[in-house]
Structure 1
Amino acid sequence: MDFDTIMEKAYEEYFDGLAEGEEALSFSEFKQALSSSGKSNG
């Protein structure tokens, strides 16, 4: 599997796991959040 396929699967799982009424990130926001998750925000 290539990176994009892995990201798409992870996004699907994220999307399925959202709480009812919780606002979802867009796919690009999701990828950005994952790639910056190792850094502190703020």
Structure 2
Amino acid sequence: MSALVGVPAHIAIRDSKVPHGATLSFPACTFAAFVAGLKQRTTEA
């Protein structure tokens, strides 16, 4: 499996109120599915 240039393998999320705190890292495909679920939910509401 090869990585695409310019496409991150993982997405790191942090608390904007604690910018130097810990991060949660998710595989890009998992995060994309999460965002798609949020978008779908808002269009159904």
TM-score normalised to structure 1 length: 0.39
Q: Return the structure number with greater strand share.
A: 2
Q: Which structure exhibits the higher relative contact order, with contacts defined as CA atoms closer than 8 Å and separated by 6 or more residues?
A: 1
Structure whose CA Rg is larger: 2
